[in-house]
Structure 1
Amino acid sequence: MGNCLSAPNESRQPYNDDQQASDEDVALGKNRRLSTSPPQWSPEERMTREEVESKRAEFWETSPAFEGRKEIWEALKAACDAFGNKEFELAQTIVSSAGISLPRGTLADVYDELGNRYRIPNYCLVFPPDSPGRGTSEPSGAPQSTDDSGSKPKPSAEAASAPDSPQGDKITLRIRLSSLKDVKISVRRTDTIATVKQKLGQMEGFDGSKVRIFLTGKILPDSAVISAIKIPKGFLLQAHVPASPS
């Protein structure tokens, strides 16, 4: 079993002993939901937010060189960014879509489907308490939908010019919502993800433009064409649906 141990000392033992699962839990492949409780940590020397962000960037730039799979590192970065921005359901959707197991219920120590282990330092998840610097933090590289600004996404040239041919025939996509409800939606191969989101919203009664759709942990851009994505037959996509304001 691979063991992606590469972070500094504070990342090797991110939590107290009473928060760690037993080796038996890990061996049995148990998976827990992501805890929304942030880890507690303090650097040996006081760090500004800019210094923490620089340290994060250095870690993520070098992480693919560690053991493990590049696509899993990318999914973990997106999940950590979402966690740091308090988008906990989005972080859970990302790791679930990528097949990442959380035996301890934390992003600090996870496994992929092949059994490779990945350890993430605490500074990639939260800022230390009372760290000086700018007042708010914006996780770098956090996945963003192209239509969050309200502008209508433009379909790609392939979708705009594709004729009504066999390539435009309808197919059925299986999508799991963040509520864990599985739905099936009929679309054309020439449809874009923006169209899929719109149809999904119409079917389920929510604003489709706010939905984020994932394939193996990666967010699919609105301009992506179904035929170009090459989704495996019967594959289950993941959709993060933001909670409606109360």
Structure 2
Amino acid sequence: MGGCIGLGRNRSAVVENSSGSLSRTISGNQHNKTYRLAHETIRWKSDVPLTEGQLRSKRDEFWDTAPAFEGRKEIWDALRAAAVAAEARDYDLAQAILDGAGVFVPNGYITDCYDQLGERYQVPIYCLSYPINIVKEDNGRDSPAECSEPVEGGAETVLKLRLSNSFSDVKMTVYSRDTIGVCKKKLQSQEGIEASRQRWFFGGKLLGDKLHVEEAKIPTGYVVQVIVNVENSPGPAKRAL
């Protein structure tokens, strides 16, 4: 993934110091607002355009392998949860997760952070936001007219859905011949989340609106990740240089 991240404000020079020096500096300023998460979405462009499914798989691969190489697993778990919250623009929740894990962000972004022992953790930008040149998948986002009518028949089944906007699990009854687009409409009726704001993932793959539930091959009890896009609202953004 290419490009530098344009971090417009100079939050702190300590990011250039060694881990030991930085650790000592942070220890004396744990409540300094300099080390709080920026309420901004970092904008960036991928060198190689990715589909949503490819990006999701890339993210899963990073989060699954990062703890095996360096740092503490509990910190990586906290960073992952904070990254999801920040992407959904729930910055208060993201900050609470970081605070609870004792993680400091000297430049205001999870891309480069430290735990209380001075251990450095670096999270790639692709885990924090979507590139501006994300590629639309043919089966990823269909119009309501193409996917609003369920196919008659099929067995009744219960899906377990994990919502990114609330970090909660909900159960929803659907039919095996329902399309994912129809399921999104049902979730909209049940939880009030507009279908156009939902992206469903299972096993690291994006579930297209035309895909039938039975074709997704979701075992009973397994969780489907539902990423809820935040409604568009004006706000500051940083662009890669």
Normalising by structure 2, what TM-score? 0.50
Higher relative contact order (CA 8 A, sep 6+): 2
